[in-house]
Structure 1
């Protein structure tokens, strides 16, 4: 520590020897700095304050119905991205700054200068912004701030409108895409249902239910068939105890009839008429009834021919035996019912066989139907959600048009500055004074290093590495001491004069600036 102090004292002694050089440089630099500061051009600052009101009465009322973006965040982003090259180019035209531009290079310099000097400052947390610009011409500064204010308001409205339009176009495009997808899914589902209509009921694919229903219908038809067969057999046994009465044949065989066969044919035809009112020609009951009628008519012709060949000349008349006639009618109806039930049983057996044959296809069909339904539901849900969002966007646009969700309010219009806002000559003068003083100290240090001296024998020995045998002391001289004292007083006067000059210049600059 003692060595450091000794070295510092030695360095100060060396610098003290060249103190006049440092003081001279301080005065020169200070004077030049004062002249430069005085000749600096004045810059006038025009400011404006604008408030963006994002609180609307309709916003809480339309909660859940309309899209409500984060307006505070959008305004904050707008304030930070307002000063861009396209906006600066618009501002040049709005403020008539392009009248002074003569070339492309000057225009580029003007754009760079405006980009650097334009300011948008947030004044607090309540969407209050200050727009500022400094220029040598106060009126031009005011025009630039006015143009910047107009650009700020227009950019906010246009940006919000562009965002809304872009969102609506995107939603409309997505709705059209999902309409196509939804139509394709509906067509695939329709084609699947048409292709597998035989294996599907009204509610969808239900193989087990259809199989159980057909089996139950088959059992019921078989039961009814057995009942009809038993009834027919009982009638036939009962008819074996009844004999028809023979009646004479009509002349020339005209009008020949076999009452029991004719009665059965009439009963079957009545039954056929009833079936045709309910079914088509291809229904199994209709086909079976027609076949029985044809068989009875053929049987009638055969019976007539057989009786004629036997020469009986007589034909049985059912009118002579009412019981026999009634039994024949009931028997014909029973046989028709048996034929109809047989056809029904055959149809149900065929259906049951077809369902059993397609049993292996059921898991595949069920999986395919589930996939089709899932795709359809996904597209339908997305489509409905997009339609709902489109309606919300439309309501938001109408709400913005009616009430103006974000309202720009100019608190302070662009001011016309009277006093220059820059440069701050007093502050610059003080800084320049300290800078000049530092330059003088640096000069004395540089010269002391270029022309070093040694204050004692120890420093000389350490610097040269040669032993010092002795030193010669300097005897005191009153005249030299007086001259040294006058020199110190003169140097102190020079420093004090410099400080006083700095104070006077600062005061003068303050008066000129005020």
Structure 2
């Protein structure tokens, strides 16, 4: 049957062979298993015991809705928590706790401050707690391990207070820094805005009347000036026509009334004096246009005009005195032209009208010159309006941009100041302790039950290694199959094994010893595991 089984399973698993190995090497296997387990389990009782205290800190969101007050602190909690952790785990902070609670004082050897800090950093563990999606940090746990459970609890409480206070301090500092930065930017924007306003104000002052906003009023004023100019020109034309008419009348009157002169050629009649005055005045006007009033010829001419006017006034007075004489008198004699002195009254009226007309013409011309100058000025303003509009648009564009930037910064400063006030009132995101630091009852290390499992694994590996090694070094034959493989020829017959009573008894003792040893090992391991479980 065995041969048939081997033929059917030439490459199968030889279960019988392994069973023989188990019967032959079970003691060699059980002893290493037990020794490996015992060494690891015993080490768990020899290692120093450490207790771990932990607490849960909840990350509370701001109590004020973001629609009303927008926080001005970074929302990246993980980065901020890393920064806070680095600050708390700094050498200065940890040494303060170490000195306060007298941690890591080893009587056997001298420990430096740096070594104490490194030991404490290894004993601190921070675990983040995220939401169901794994995106947002909702809480975190702080653990600290120590040989004394009460020390572990105290240190965890100190670390918890540091985290809560440091978070408030960091958020308040970041909020204040943000507000100060926006304030400095706002001052710069205010100075820039004032500079832009000064430029616009200076430009408007320099180009008063040429601004686009004044174009409508300039057009209205120009239209009124043009109407006034047209009226003045019409009045001037009328005055000039009146002057021509008066000149014609005077000339006709003088032609009808001949001029009498004295023996030396000086005109003696009223008409002659008027004609002489007209010539002298015309000459004075001509000289005055070229010379000053102190020029000798001008002064001489003014004296002659004064003398002639004096003679004319005397003549007029004499004619009025004689009244009814009916004739013009010159130096006490009868006039040669036979003109009645009363007839000179129309000439005087014409000359008065002519002089008034001359004054009116001069005033009209002066007014027209002023109106033309004003018209040209307003026309220039209108012509320069497009260029001024472009220049003002450039200035206004810069001013508008600066004003928009200033308004935005002002709003941000108000929002940031409100957010800073919220942080000072502790209404922003903050850490709150949900579970107080626990007082550990059982040690966290070593976990003796876990060490039992590790010891079992180590013992099994050690036992298998011993069995494999012994089998590898054993050169004896333990089965018929091995013997058949070594024989060069086929086996014709077999002699059955003859087992004596002593051999059978020895085999039974060996089997009982194996089972007893297995029971002892298993019982001992179970008892050790139960003890570890109950003690932990």
User: Would the TM-score normalized by the shorter structure come out above 0.5?
Assistant: yes
Q: CA deviation at 1:400?
A: 3.2
Q: Residue 203 in 1 paired to residue 207 in 2?
A: no
**2:524 corresponds to 1:497:** no
Offset at 1:330? 5.9
Task: Identify the residue that residue 68 of structure 1 maps to in structure 2.
Answer: 71
Measure how far apart 1:220 and its partner are: 3.5
Cα RMSD, aligned residues only? 4.8
Q: In the alignment, what sits opposite 2:363?
A: 336
Aligned to 2:397: 374
Q: How far is the alpha carbon of 1:503 from its aligned partner? A: 0.7
Aligned partner of 1:111 in structure 2 is 117
**8 A Cα contact 2:146 2:152, kept in partner:** yes
Q: Point out the more displaced range, 387-396 or 111-120.
A: 111-120
Distance 1:193 1:473 in 2: 133
Q: Equivalent residue for 2:497?
A: 476
Of 157, 166, 171, the match for 1:146 = 157
2:532 is matched with which residue? 509
Question: Structure 1, residues 302-354: CA drift from partner, whole Å, max 9, x if none?
Answer: 99359459979546998997787567546633431232213432554477579
Say if 2:62 is the partner of 1:46: no
Looking at structure 1, the residues matched to 62 and 179 of structure 2 have their Cα atoms a distance apart, in angstroms, of: 24
The change in CA–CA distance for 1:334 and 1:457 in structure 2 (over 3 A counts) is farther
- Tell me the distance in 1 between the aligned counterparts of 2:426 and 2:13: 81
Taking the aligned partners of 1:76 and 1:322, their CA distance within structure 2 comes to 111
Equivalent-residue separation in structure 1 for 2:361 and 2:190 (angstroms): 60
Q: 1:104 to 1:236 in 2, by over 3 A?
A: farther
User: CA distance change for structure 1 residues 93 and 445 in 2, over 3 Å: closer, same or farther?
Assistant: same
Q: Distance in 2 between matches of 1:34 and 1:240?
A: 149
SS of residue in 2 equivalent to 1:47: strand
In 2 relative to 1, CA 409–458 (structure 1 residues): closer, same or farther, beyond 3 Å? Answer: same
Is the 1:91–1:144 contact (alpha carbons within 8 Å) kept by the matching residues of 2?
A: no
Structure showing greater Rg:
2
- Contact 2:239/2:360 (<8 A) preserved: no
Question: Which residue matches 1:304?
Answer: 305
- Structure 1 residue 150 displacement after superposition: 1.1
Q: 1:217, 1:348 within 8 Å by CA — same for their partners in 2?
A: no
* C-alpha distance in structure 2 between counterparts of 1:217 and 1:36, whole Å: 116
Where structure 2 has 5 or more consecutive residues not aligned to the other structure, the ranges are 1-7, 132-136, 258-272, 278-288, 318-343
**TM-score (norm. length: structure 2):** 0.67
Map 1:394-473 → 2, pairs under 5 A: 394-402=417-425, 404-406=427-429, 408-451=431-474, 468-470=488-490
User: Contact between 1:45 and 1:141, CA under 8 Å: does it hold in 2?
Assistant: yes
Residues 307 and 313 of structure 1 are in contact (CA less than 8 Å); yes or no, is this contact kept in structure 2?
no
Q: Note the C-alpha offset of 1:18.
A: 3.8
Secondary structure of 1:84's counterpart equals helix
**Distance 1:83-1:354 versus aligned 2 partners, 3 A rule:** closer
How big is the shift at 1:500?
0.8
> In structure 1, how many angstroms separate the alpha carbons of the residues matched to 2:438 and 2:345?
129
Is the Cα–Cα contact under 8 Å of residues 232 and 335 in structure 1 kept in the other structure?
no
Alpha-carbon contact 2:28-2:466 (below 8 Å) kept: yes
Q: 1:381 to 1:350 in 2, by over 3 A?
A: closer
Whole-Å Cα distance in 2 between the matches of residues 489 and 332 of structure 1?
A: 161
Matched with 1:137 is 148
* Secondary structure of 1:200's aligned partner: coil
State how many pairs are aligned: 453
Q: Which residue does 1:251 correspond to in 2?
A: none
Task: Name the CA shift for 1:400/1:318 in 2 (closer, same or farther; >3 Å).
Answer: farther
2:89 is paired with a residue of what secondary structure? helix
| 2:230 aligned residue | 223
**Shift in CA distance, 234/367, structure 1 to aligned 2, threshold 3 Å:** closer
Q: 2: CA distance between counterparts of 1:414 and 1:238?
A: 124
Query: Which sections of structure 1, spanning at least 5 residues, go unmatched?
Result: 247-256, 262-290
Question: What is the deviation of 1:115?
Answer: 2.5
Q: Is the 8 A contact 2:168 2:426 kept in 1?
A: no
Structure 1 range deviating more: 140-149 or 215-224 = 215-224
2:246 to 219, 239, 245: 239
1:210 and 1:467 mapped to 2: Cα distance? Answer: 135
* Deviation of the 1:154 alpha carbon: 1.0
CA 482–338 in structure 1, closer or farther in 2 if over 3 Å, else same: same
**In 1, distance between residues paired with 2:196 and 2:478?**
103
How far apart are 1:390 and its partner, in Å? 1.3
User: Offset at 1:135?
Assistant: 1.2
Q: Choose 427-436 or 84-93, whichever is displaced more.
A: 84-93
Residue 277 of structure 1 aligns with which residue?
none
Map 1:252-271 to 2 at 5 A: none
Say whether residues 1:160 and 2:162 are aligned partners. no
Task: Give me the whole-angstrom Cα distance separating, in 2, the residues matched to 1:70 and 1:492.
Answer: 72
In the other structure, the counterpart of 1:280 is none
Distance 1:116 1:94, change over 3 A: closer
Deviations 1:466-508 (A, max 9, x none): 9943469673233456644543443233222211110111222
1:115 & 1:372 partners in 2: Cα distance?
A: 62
Shift of 1:155: 1.1
